[in-house]
Structure 1
Amino acid sequence: MEEWKMFGAKENDVFKLIRDHLTMVGDTLKYTKEMFVQYLQGNIGNAEELLTKVEESETRADKLRREIELMLYSGAFIPANRGDYIRLVELIDNVADAAESAAHTLIFAKPAVPPEYKEKILILINESLKTFEYLKEAVVSLETDVDRALEYSKSTEAQEEDADKIEYSLLRKIFEDENISTYAKLIWNQIITKIGDIADRAEDASDHIMLMAVKRR
């Protein structure tokens, strides 16, 4: 019997909410990227408006997380698997939290943008957010194909490593740049590290998916 046929109505409802939650987390990342693009282009007002969208999306994701947890506590899945899904949803939600934290730091600190680093910062954002695309596929694959879930989890991990390399290279260049003040270096260190945290949190979730998938093979 195919694995998806083993799930009942409650489990299928949980899977639907998890997909909705992934969409909300994805929206949070999308608005975060748009906010950074506007800020790096000097459009501070637009960036501040987009911060509101980041916050609203993260709040909606958080509400969905709690709804999923309540459904799980009410009896969806057997007790042995329930904790795995509760933990998974929390880890996915942490990705949105990391994006919101990066957005807040940028807007609250409002550092000057060194022109020569604009493109490098955007590359880091793109590479960090790409980890979530692999994670999303891994989560959805858990419903029907654990081997596929494992493959996408490995892709998430590999992408996080790529993002890490870009993050460390960018930080090294900024700290070695004598034209950037110490204060600006410290602020950009926080912002860039928080952008990298998005990829780190996605990898945390993918690690958990690997454990879940191995248990179900």
Structure 2
Amino acid sequence: MRKFFLKESKVELYAKEHVKKVYECYKEFEKMMPHFYEGNYEKVDILTKKVSELEHEADEIRRKMEMGFYEGAFLPFDREDRIMLTENVDKVADTIESTAFTISLSKLEFPPTFKKDFEAFMDIIGQIVEALKDCIDSLEKDLTEAIRKAHEIEKLEEKADKIERSILTKLYKSYRHEEIGVVKLLEMKEVVIHLGNIADKAEDASDRVLIIAAKRRG
């Protein structure tokens, strides 16, 4: 029995390390964005590589967690949800990395009139990823706080959706007014959708936290 609980404690520790690494991945991505706005792709490429390295480190922690699950950490009814939570959190890092690569490869000239819109979008997404970190941290020590954070993520994600739709509307309006061409429209749209996906994946992870909490409370 003691061995069983030791396995659980190790996996719980890995879970916190994993989401912390995902948060670090986002913070590095956040540093990259001003260089994207300025068209400094040399710096964008350097930071994209750093994002990729952090995503790889998150993957390594996830693999350690998976080994703990396969070795019998947690009871079967809880294990499946834990595995899905781990996968959902990992998808946040995957999406951050793919967004960074999309920007790095595009080499598009960022339209200055969209800078404030993107900064607002990034701010909300950053709040979501940070709240996810806090949500996972609270899962073992304060279930009420974990639930509160999950609901906070849900509300923040709704705000992110509104900003995403607003930017897309503005993009199409700029295209219709011939302020940007069709290529830039499509490239910018792809970046916006990728950013929105980061928020979506984080909400998916928080939804899994709510399922775990509901089962625990019976």
**Which of the five TM-score ranges fits, normalised by the shorter chain?**
over 0.9
> Which position in structure 2 is the counterpart of 1:182?
182
Q: Which runs of 5+ in 2 are unaligned?
A: none
CA distances 1:52-95 after superposition (whole Å, capped 9, x unpaired):
00100001111111110111110111121111111101000010
The answer to whether the 8 A contact 2:55-2:94 is kept is yes
Do structure 1's residue 196 and structure 2's residue 188 form an aligned pair?
no
Q: For the residues of structure 1 that align with 2:144 and 2:20, how far apart are their CA atoms?
A: 23
AA matched with 2:118: I
CA distances 1:2-61 after superposition (whole Å, capped 9, x unpaired):
xxxxx8221111111111111210111111111112121232211110010010000111
Residue 121 of structure 1, CA deviation? 1.0
What SS does structure 2 have at the residue aligned with 1:122?
A: helix
Q: Percent identity?
A: 36
The alignment's TM-score, normalised by the length of structure 1, stands at 0.94
Q: For the residues of structure 1 that align with 2:67 and 2:138, how far apart are their CA atoms?
A: 23
Q: For the residues of structure 2 that align with 1:90 and 1:37, how far apart are their CA atoms?
A: 30
AA matched with 2:107: K
Residue 154 of structure 1, CA deviation? 0.3
Q: For the residues of structure 1 that align with 2:46 and 2:146, how far apart are their CA atoms?
A: 36
Match of 1:96 among 93, 96, 99: 93
Q: For the residues of structure 2 that align with 1:128 and 1:197, how far apart are their CA atoms?
A: 10
The answer to whether the 8 A contact 1:99-1:198 is kept is yes
Match of 2:38 among 41, 47, 54: 41
Q: Which runs of 4+ in 1 moved over 4 A?
A: none
Q: Which runs of 5+ in 1 are unaligned?
A: 1-6
Q: For the residues of structure 2 that align with 1:42 and 1:105, how far apart are their CA atoms?
A: 14
What SS does structure 1 have at the residue aligned with 2:73?
A: coil
> Which position in structure 2 is the counterpart of 1:213?
213
Do structure 1's residue 139 and structure 2's residue 136 form an aligned pair?
yes
Residue 141 of structure 1, CA deviation? 1.3
The answer to whether the 8 A contact 2:38-2:110 is kept is no
Match of 2:64 among 63, 67, 74: 67
Q: For the residues of structure 2 that align with 1:154 and 1:95, how far apart are their CA atoms?
A: 18
> Which position in structure 2 is the counterpart of 1:171?
168
What SS does structure 1 have at the residue aligned with 2:59?
A: helix
The answer to whether the 8 A contact 1:129-1:198 is kept is no
The answer to whether the 8 A contact 1:51-1:103 is kept is yes
- Please tell me the root mean square deviation across aligned C-alpha atoms, in Å: 1.1
Q: For the residues of structure 2 that align with 1:73 and 1:129, how far apart are their CA atoms?
A: 33
Q: For the residues of structure 2 that align with 1:198 and 1:31, how far apart are their CA atoms?
A: 14
The answer to whether the 8 A contact 2:89-2:202 is kept is yes
What SS does structure 2 have at the residue aligned with 1:16?
A: helix
The alignment's TM-score, normalised by the length of structure 2, stands at 0.94
Q: For the residues of structure 2 that align with 1:82 and 1:58, how far apart are their CA atoms?
A: 24
Match of 2:123 among 117, 120, 126: 126
How many pairs are equivalent? 211
